[in-house]
Structures are given as structure tokens and as C-alpha cells.
Amino acid sequence: MADTDVKERAAELFRQNGKRLEFLPGENLFNSALDQGGSFAHFLDSGSCSLSGFTRDGREHIFLYFHGQRVVGFMQLMPIEFGGDPPHIVVTAKTPCVVYRVTREQFQGFLREESSFQTYMLQVVSENYLNLIKHYQSGQGQCATSRLCALLLDYAGREGDALCMPAYFNMAEFSRYLGVHTVTVSRIMVQLKQRGYIEKQGRRILLRDPEGLGRLIRDQSNFDF
């Protein structure tokens, strides 16, 4: 079965059996510390959300972003055992989101009875795993400037003739994803703007020279502040 077929079947299962819910930006679909959404899995029908974890001193670190048409917030329902205490994770809406929520019993029934759903979930888990490795490796081997440039190229979307970052990306959002101080992010953004790589239009960030950003990544360029 083609990838699109198993994805469409997963969407059909959630839409036919799940409860339709809407979340506003900043609302949590799932929060493991509060067991909020802990007995459910969600199919993100439209919108964007993030997967975050927290350090011992309470600082948030964003690991992944999810966009429409995929299952999110499901690991607590998978047949796995955590060593020690499970991690504190949160799935948070970044834009208005429409989701379909199914119960633990429904989700595990899909896994038992639908071979296409098993295939789809293997794809989702593998994609999450590879994206987490990519995120970790970039944090270990690249300078902050290169990592920020990569983030801009990865998440910018075309609007007309321009490449624009989603509106929810501000200095604090960049900082939580990159794991660097907001002051560092701000200084890099100033340099990118002064050199013509990006432009600010209100709250939006426009990529004016994506090829130049790519060169900064390849050259591992870092700015002196």
C-alpha cells in the first residue's frame, strides 16, 4: 500500500471514530505532567503544533514541530515501558488547530486490527526519530548561526513571491528550539538583516537571500558580536 494510502486510511479512522476538537495557539493538546490528554491520541487535521520537553529548572525546549495531517501525542498509548519516570512532554498548538481525538481503546484497536494503520504509525515513529536525531546532531556539531539559518530554510513557506516564516516564530520561539539564549538569537537576526539575508515586515520574517543562508550553513559561518 502506498504511503498516501496508509495516511488517508489513518485520517479516515480518526475522522470517523474520533471527536472533533479545536485548539487555539498556546493551548495544550497533551501535557504529561497533568495527564492532560494522556488517555487519548490526536490526528492533527489542520494547523501546526510543537512537541516540547522541560529541563529540571523548568526551561522549555522544543524538539519537533508538527503540521497538518498526522497523528500527534500518542506515545503514552504505545505498548512500551519507560525506564524510571516518563519524561515531561507537552504538545502545544502554535496556530489554530483542528484535531480528531480517539481514546486509548480505539487507538490500540486500530493497531491490532488495521495493518495499514500499523504501517502508518511505523512511518510516523521513524520520521519523528530521524528528525530528533537531526535536531540533536545540529545542536552538537553546528554553530548557532548555522543552526538558525537551517531553521529558517526548513520552516519558511512560500507566500506569493516571498519565503516567509510562520508568524509564531519570534525570538523566544527560536530560542526554545535552538537551545540558545534569546539575546544570541536577536544578535544573529540583526546581522542577517543588516547583510540582506532576511527582512522584517511587522511580525513576519521574510527570507530575501535563501541561497546566502545556505552558504552560511555550508561554511559554518558564525558572526562576531
Q: Is the pLDDT of residue 4 over 70?
A: yes
At residue 97, the pLDDT reads 97
At residue 128, the pLDDT reads 92
Domains of the chain: 3-135 (2.60.120.10), 142-219 (1.10.10.10)
At residue 25, the pLDDT reads 96
The tens digit of pLDDT for each residue in 40-64 reads 999 999 999 999 998 777 788 999 9
At residue 167, the pLDDT reads 92
Q: What is the DSSP string of the chain?
A: --HHHHHHHHHHHHHHHSEEEEE-TT-EEEETTTTBTTTEEEEEEESEEEEEEE-TT--EEEEEEEESSEEES-GGGSS---SSSPP-EEEEESS-EEEEEEEHHHHHHHHHH-HHHHHHHHHHHHHHHHHHHHHHHHHHHS-HHHHHHHHHHHH-EEETTEEE--TT--HHHHHHHHTS-HHHHHHHHHHHHHTTSEEEETTEEEES-HHHHHHHHHHT-----
At residue 110, the pLDDT reads 94
Arithmetic mean of pLDDT, 191-212: 93
Arithmetic mean of pLDDT, 192-221: 90
Arithmetic mean of pLDDT, 192-209: 92
Compare 136 and 23 and report the one with higher pLDDT: 23
Spatial CB neighbours of 215, under 8 Å, sequence gap ≥ 6: 221
At residue 22, the pLDDT reads 97
Q: Is the pLDDT of residue 135 over 90?
A: no
The tens digit of pLDDT for each residue in 68-94 reads 889 998 887 876 665 666 678 899 999
Question: For residues 96 and 114, what is the distance between their CA atoms, to the nearest angstrom?
Answer: 30
143 C-beta neighbours (distance < 10 Å), count: 16
Percent of the chain with pLDDT over 90: 64
Arithmetic mean of pLDDT, 8-17: 95
At residue 37, the pLDDT reads 62
The tens digit of pLDDT for each residue in 139-189 reads 777 888 999 999 999 999 988 888 999 999 999 999 999 989 999 999 999
At residue 79, the pLDDT reads 66
Phi/psi region, residue 224 (left: phi>0; alpha: psi -120 to 50; beta: rest), is: beta
At residue 152, the pLDDT reads 94
